[in-house]
Structure 1
Amino acid sequence: MTNALPSGLDRTALYAVLDSYLAALKARDPSRVSWGETVRNSENNVALMLGDGLWNTITDLGPYDLRFADPLTGQVGLFTTVTETDDLSACSLRLGVDRKGRIVEVETIVVRQLDSGIRFEPQAFERKPVMEEIVPPSARVSRERMIALADGYFSTLERNDGTILTRIHPECNRIENGLQTTNNPEFFTSVAHLGCEDQLRLGNYIYDDRLRARHYPLVDEERGLVLATAFIDHSGRIGDYTLTDGTKVTSPLRRPHSFYMLELFKIRHGMIEQIEANFITVPYHMPTPWDAWR
């Protein structure tokens, strides 16, 4: 359960709250935000006091603006970029808003590549019309089905053995930390040369031991978007393994660690059509403060 249910605010009002928050963040002035009486705030999966973290270091907010909203639950989100002095980082943000338009939840990921175990280059933060398009009512599915499709994707990733537990559009692509990691022959791993479903059907991600702490706080039914938060745990125990087509490969992840992520799924006609995620590496099995707050 979130701290924001329900707000009674429409998309326009939620976007106005988001814009007000961003203006205050860019000005490094949290006093300009309309805060609720109790605010739950995290940055990179650590509970912080309001005004700490990125508020102290941001020097610019990038033009990339992929936003989405859920009027039913009072949630609004954004994928963008931030600059801290001379370092550009992918950034995901989720705000929970109460009935009075006050912010009561802030969940932020800043993918600071200087601190990252995996560098994603070259990054490209470009508009993707598919993520912004309104889904016609005839192509929509229920909120529950949208969440089930996103959750099925995570279940497919967990100890990935080639079994597909969701529905994926043949032309689906995935963006991670500003880089396309499907159908990308320029990426350093060969798995990125394949499409979303082909990667999974071959069992490439068998080293993803657990997809845990899955939550789906925002469903933008009009745009067919589901925002998920989750962790991927990697024990590092798997070395060489065999894909479902008989190809022998070696895991690139040989140490215990976890990924913490905000991941956005585009769903149309009951299929995942596009995925965008920002994630960071955190200590193995790191808990989240949001479990205690929900």
Structure 2
Amino acid sequence: MKLNLQIQFATPWLLLALGFSQAQATGCDRPCLENLLSSYLTALVAHDPSRLPTSPDVKYVENSQILPLGTGMWKIADTLGKYRHVFADPESNQVGAITTLNENGVSVIYVVRIALDQHRNIREIETQITRDAVGAGRYEKMVQPEAVWLESVPPAQRISRAMLIAQTNKYYTGMERNDPKGNYSFFDKDCDRLEDGLQTTNQKNGDPYGHSNDTSFASLGCEAQFQTGFLGFVTKIRDRRYPVVDEERQAVFAITIFDHNGTVRELPSVNGTSSPIPPYFDVPRTLAATEAFRLRGEKLFRIEMTLTEVPYGMRSAFLADTPVQIGMANSHITNSKSCDRSCLDKILDQVLQAILNNNTSSLSLANEVRYSENGQFLPLGDGLWETVGSISKPGVDDYAARFSDPETGTVAYWGITKEQTTLGVLALRIKVDNGSITEIEAIDVRAESTGLRGGTMTLMRPPLPIEWEGTSLGQLDPVFKQNSSGFGTTSLPLVNAYLNGLEKHSSIGVHFDSSCTRRDNGFRGNLSCSAQMDGKGDSPNGLFNLTTAVRDRRILVTDSRKGVVIAVAMIDNPALSPSSLPATQMVPSTYMVPQLIKIENGTISRVESMVKWMPFGYTSAWTEGI
């Protein structure tokens, strides 16, 4: 998008991106904003948001999740760190900062943006927590930003607010798919960049860059790096916002979202030879990034960046109404008015093959068909459609099964996927109406490992007490594939009672078969289902011992013939209670948990559960509940 440099002619969307509100706030100058920032951080470590002047409808966002103010980091922040880099924007009454603090005794990089209303009350708080203790340690050693960031630029030497943003936007346009033949003259010849406190330009130490094995990229300057095309694995940079523009210091505090769709398989040559993309980029990734830019004249002179991972396709909480492209119907396919079990199973097989082919043309799609992946709506064909190379087959492979409910026109799949080299367990729901597919929902719990160059571990999240690293799951328990008896009208209340039991950590009122067993991420242990839920003994289900709410409960499919319910829920772990877990694992988290629940003769006899880590407070885009 070409920016209009005349603010008075800007569109409402552009005004939002530039950090303006429709009701322009009354003045809060630099000292006022800096004092507000200090007061905010003091209130944070005191766990007391009541100290702050907030508007009645204040919006608090933490790692792209909308939370009640006072939850999340507010419960576990311990002490403030030494490093603090503040950006003040009196024109929009906003202040931003890159700083450090400790949570549960572990140092983190903490980014915050605060916006005031016309009454000087806080109307928005946007935060990003980068749980990189090493990076936070580098910042602690720096103590303060490089002096040039803090210098006031004489008015005669300043460029306009709009030009500051326009030049900054060129950085993102140049990085997106990173054309090596692009014009990158917007970089100052002496430009340097920090990433989590680490200088990643003009380095001569021979260290590899990021997840890659390349040892030459970090030795180059900013412009030379872009001229390699090395950053082309960043396939899209969206939701670009420039909310804090510090005109006095000629700096821009920018917030964006980076998508890596997993289709780029090779890094260009920098040191003479190209190299394969690291395993981390086997699957689609989205990174929420905050970057500060200091300009010298019209050139980018200094860049300070920090980021964290969010679910692929996650949109900004401040641009949540951005439309998502939807699939369109293939009108040449004739629809039938009913779809029995055999019909549903056939449609499932067609969808699985379409995913493998990344081609929807063979499918009968309803107008405005909706597709989601791990709770985010995506364009049909995006996400795992572009990365899956194999899917285990029901009736052929050991760990694969299909489940159907002709009454609701729903069919589901549970089995193993492989994206490039990364394994996953896919729970797939397909809704059919009058022979056309109206909804496709995918939940893919991918194997997480900490191998070479970071492995495949989701960035900046703690390992789970029970982590699936891609080890064999063996055979899916045959009971899930067998027909069942005693599956009646009490089955759904039974599932709800089971989810209540998970929330209360009590099996009272949950009807488990005496021989019931449960697996989480492939691990079963020796406890019965009821003992495990009650947290007795050395429970292998320890990742649920500190959890609170079990919410966003949804039934994906109910197969009455097989006596199987596939349910998914969000389970919150605020990381508050004393625990034997390492401090690095005591991080507010939400677990997305799809699970197979086998019901026989009015009792639950088997549970097969996969656990996917999500940022604390994460909510699925689907709103149906039970």
- Tell me the TM-score normalized by structure 1: 0.92
- Is the contact between residue 184 and residue 223 of structure 2 (CA under 8 Å) also seen in structure 1? no
CA drift at 1:194 = 1.6
The answer on 1:167 being equivalent to 2:186 is: yes
Could you tell me how far apart the structure 2 residues matched to 1:20 and 1:241 are? 45
The answer on 1:276 being equivalent to 2:304 is: yes
Gaps of 5+ in 2: 1-15, 210-214, 323-626
CA drift at 1:124 = 3.4
Map 1:141-220 onto structure 2 (within 5 A). 141-162=159-180, 163-165=182-184, 167-186=186-205, 187-189=207-209, 190=215, 191-220=217-246
Map 1:105-124 onto structure 2 (within 5 A). 105-113=124-132, 123-124=138-139
Greater mean alpha carbon deviation, residues 172-181 or residues 89-98? 172-181
- Is the contact between residue 173 and residue 180 of structure 1 (CA under 8 Å) also seen in structure 2? yes
- Is the contact between residue 287 and residue 308 of structure 2 (CA under 8 Å) also seen in structure 1? yes
SS in 1 for 2:171: helix
SS in 2 for 1:260: strand
Q: Deviations over 1:169-195 (max 9, x none)?
A: 111111112222222344322222222
Could you tell me how far apart the structure 2 residues matched to 1:144 and 1:178 are? 28
SS in 2 for 1:198: helix
- Is the contact between residue 201 and residue 244 of structure 1 (CA under 8 Å) also seen in structure 2? no
CA drift at 1:121 = 8.7
CA drift at 1:218 = 1.0
Label 1:103 to 1:155 Cα distance change in 2 as closer, same or farther (>3 A). Answer: same
Relative contact order (C-alpha < 8 Å, sep 6+): which is higher?
Answer: 1
The residue identity in structure 1 corresponding to 2:286 is S
Label 1:284 to 1:222 Cα distance change in 2 as closer, same or farther (>3 A). Answer: same
The residue identity in structure 1 corresponding to 2:25 is P
The Cα RMSD (Å) is 2.1
Map 1:15-26 onto structure 2 (within 5 A). 15-26=34-45
The answer on 1:267 being equivalent to 2:295 is: yes
Residue equivalent to 1:136: 154
CA drift at 1:267 = 0.9
Could you tell me how far apart the structure 1 residues matched to 2:262 and 2:187 are? 28
Could you tell me how far apart the structure 2 residues matched to 1:277 and 1:14 are? 22
CA drift at 1:273 = 0.6
Could you tell me how far apart the structure 1 residues matched to 2:136 and 2:53 are? 37
CA drift at 1:246 = 6.8
Could you tell me how far apart the structure 1 residues matched to 2:219 and 2:266 are? 20
Residue equivalent to 1:232: 258
- Tell me the TM-score normalized by structure 2: 0.44
CA drift at 1:65 = 1.2
Gaps of 5+ in 1: none
SS in 2 for 1:31: helix
CA drift at 1:33 = 0.8
- Count of paired positions: 290
Could you tell me how far apart the structure 2 residues matched to 1:123 and 1:5 are? 38
Could you tell me how far apart the structure 2 residues matched to 1:104 and 1:215 are? 17
Greater mean alpha carbon deviation, residues 283-292 or residues 185-194? 185-194
Q: Deviations over 1:10-40 (max 9, x none)?
A: 1111112112111111211111111012211
